[in-house]
Structure 1
Amino acid sequence: MTRAPSGGTEAPHGWATRRAGWDGRCQTAGQRPRRSGLSTRGDEVSTSDPDDAGLRSFLADPAHLTLDLRTATARCVKALGLRHAVVYLVDLQQRHLVPQTAVAPSVPVDGSPAGWAYRTQSLRVEESGTGGGITAWFPLLDGAERLGVLALCETALTASSLTRGRALASLLAMVITSKRLYEDSFVRRTRTERMELPAEMLRALLPPRTIGNGNVVSTAVLEPAYEIGGDAFDHALTETTLHVAVLDAMGHDLASGLTTTVSLAACRNARRTGADLPELVRGVDEALSSWLPDKFCTSVIAQLDLVT
């Protein structure tokens, strides 16, 4: 049995972690690692572990697609033969990790093992408090976008439980990504202040904070997070190009939000029809002239060629 030292630590000696694919291993020195029933390498999937049957049954049942996050997490944990897990989502300003259950407190992003796992997108382990055992913190990712962390609480960590924890984190990240667009429970738990109406309108149109591929990563935030008026950003990827835009409409009221909304829509419309930069700018200018002739919007629009 391998245990973590007191306090938050990186994976202890004998563990190897890789950020790409979360392909880590845990073993006691001198021992060969146990094979897990859920392989994350290549196309191989081992079905030797009887716990796999429970997970396959869970995934195959269409009724499970409509479960709320807490129920889905509990059932996945049981199907994987794990002890206990809690999902923490980052708040709007990325200062706190908020549990999706009422029995656990929020955790600061700075100065905590959970925050370290979130910031570095790497596994972090620590000894649990008075209850004993070990907590492993797994990052929850939607591509390059960081959603939060998964806390996996076990009596002891093994290669099998770590592999299953990564599988659970990947599965729950997909569940969160698909549900957060229409389930307000995610929004309510990750807001710490009241959102102003112009900010509510614009945030509904924004892309994820972070996008990326093997060649480039683009990330953006807006502050003050709950009071944005006519400010917005946009970024998108094709196979060869990163498109970015920063928009700032005149004023700080609902009208400025409408101006930015029209500008953002015109920018995306031109971009998705293959317009080059001059054509795209003309398209935004024509849209504002037609629909909001007494308003204007300042913007920085750029394209990064990923090939050259």
Structure 2
Amino acid sequence: MEAVRRLMDLRHRGRAEDLPAVLAAAAPLLDAQSARVLLVDYGQVALHPLRGATPGTATGHAVEDTLAGRAFTTAEHQWHDEGDGGLLWLPLLHGAERLGVLELRVKAQPSAAHRLDLEVIAALVAELIASRRFYGDAVEHTRRRLPMQLAAEIIWNQLPPLTFAVDGTIVTAVLEPCYEVGGDAFDYAANEDTLHVALFDTVGHGISASALTTLTLNTYRNARRSGLSLTDTCRSIDKWIRAQYPGAFVTALVAELDMATGRYRRISAGHPAELFLRGGRTLPSLPAPNALPLGLGHMVGRPPGVVEQRLEPGDTLVLYTDGITEARDASGELFGVDRLSEFLLDALNLGATAPETMRRLIQTIVSYEEGELRDDATAAMLQWRRRQG
């Protein structure tokens, strides 16, 4: 409890950069010789020590092929026995969002009861990181391994956490190139039984694209919060794009999921259809597009059409921008929809979680294009389970 009290003091008068020192001082109270926070970088490639008020030189761990990385990817604790003690890694989760891991050096492997207490500490540390990160730049300094371009800075500051879950339903997304992205974005919100999800792909690149994306995101949120229907939401976005950026356009998938019944409704505004996965196989795609790209809707007289599908528990939908399927290898071969479907089915069949499947997907796309993406690549996975109660 004394360790908890010391950490709780940061809630009211502390910064994220104060956490390493407070945690190190509290380690003996946890029967640990040391304790440190490791945060995942923007590319989700490695885990790095949280930058403190006095930056250190301690190294981190790769996500791939390390126990610390396994704690991050599986969201389960990992133990390394060193004979006279060992290292324990606990996942740092803010809701369903994976922040990194808490690393503890202890004299002996903790008992089950002691580990549960340490998991409470890890949960508190995650909450502190999430709540204090906006009062300084320590978290951003830790997570950034390359200079972030201004267009990407603008977009990342507009986005919700990459992963959200309520009961058994989860939505999780990835974006690349994470330090240069400017034209792709996603959003979601859960209101009562409705989960709102949207994916946008803006024409162009750089600052101009990020400005258009910012307008699109905030117009979408304004329409959603005003209680507009899917059709009227698309009309509103279309109107504002046309007014502020004549001739520009944004392709989009704008969707709603009733989490109680599995009723899925969406509009594809010039956007590729989502992948529809059920029971280890790919089902036929839903009709798409069923509206012109946002900003060009005035070219037709009819309102955007809404496609409806009744989901079954366990169904998975994957929304993506063309930067995923149009990625090219050295020979010029497209990654394509079939390869995307095969990759997702294989990952899910092997038991990978939705966030981990998305992380592996984006790493695969980056590797496929030999580290140099030709276009923004964004994907979001939506998995539905019947809401309890």
TM bracket (short chain): 0.7 to 0.9
> Within 1, Cα distance between the matches of 2:12 and 2:25?
9
Unmatched segments (≥5 aa) in structure 2? 262-389
Deviations 1:247-284 (A, max 9, x none): 11111021111111001000011111221210111111
1:66, CA displacement in angstroms?
1.0
1:66 aligns with 2:18: no
Partner of 2:387: none
Unmatched segments (≥5 aa) in structure 1? 1-51
> Within 2, Cα distance between the matches of 1:190 and 1:181?
14
Query: What number of residue pairs does the alignment pair up?
Result: 254
Normalising by structure 1, we get a TM-score of 0.77
**Cα distance 1:173–1:60, how it changes in 2: closer, same or farther (>3 A)?**
closer
Deviations 1:190-211 (A, max 9, x none): 1121111111111111110111
Normalising by structure 2, we get a TM-score of 0.61
Contact between 1:64 and 1:72, CA under 8 Å: does it hold in 2? no
Deviations 1:137-163 (A, max 9, x none): 100000010000011110112335423
1:57, CA displacement in angstroms?
4.5
1:248 aligns with 2:201: yes
Write out aligned runs for 1:169-180 (5 A): 169-180=122-133
> Within 1, Cα distance between the matches of 2:211 and 2:110?
54
Matching residue's letter, 2:109:
L
Partner of 1:259: 212
Partner of 1:149: 101
- Aligned mate of 1:138, from 90, 93, 103: 90
1:293, CA displacement in angstroms?
2.5
For the residue of structure 2 that corresponds to 1:227, the secondary structure is: coil
Contact between 2:32 and 2:107, CA under 8 Å: does it hold in 1? no
Matching residue's letter, 1:244:
V
Identity of aligned residues (%): 38
Contact between 2:85 and 2:106, CA under 8 Å: does it hold in 1? yes
- Aligned mate of 1:220, from 140, 153, 173: 173
Write out aligned runs for 1:46-195 (5 A): 52=1, 54-55=2-3, 57-58=5-6, 61=9, 65-67=13-15, 68-100=18-50, 102-128=56-82, 132-159=84-111, 160-195=113-148
> Within 1, Cα distance between the matches of 2:98 and 2:253?
26
1:76, CA displacement in angstroms?
3.4
1:305 aligns with 2:255: no
Contact between 2:7 and 2:23, CA under 8 Å: does it hold in 1? no
Contact between 2:72 and 2:101, CA under 8 Å: does it hold in 1? yes
C-alpha RMSD over aligned residues? 2.0
1:56, CA displacement in angstroms?
5.8
Contact between 1:263 and 1:284, CA under 8 Å: does it hold in 2? yes
For the residue of structure 2 that corresponds to 1:104, the secondary structure is: coil
Contact between 1:99 and 1:105, CA under 8 Å: does it hold in 2? yes
Contact between 2:10 and 2:128, CA under 8 Å: does it hold in 1? no
Partner of 1:11: none
Partner of 1:285: 238
The structure with more strand, counted as a fraction of residues: 2
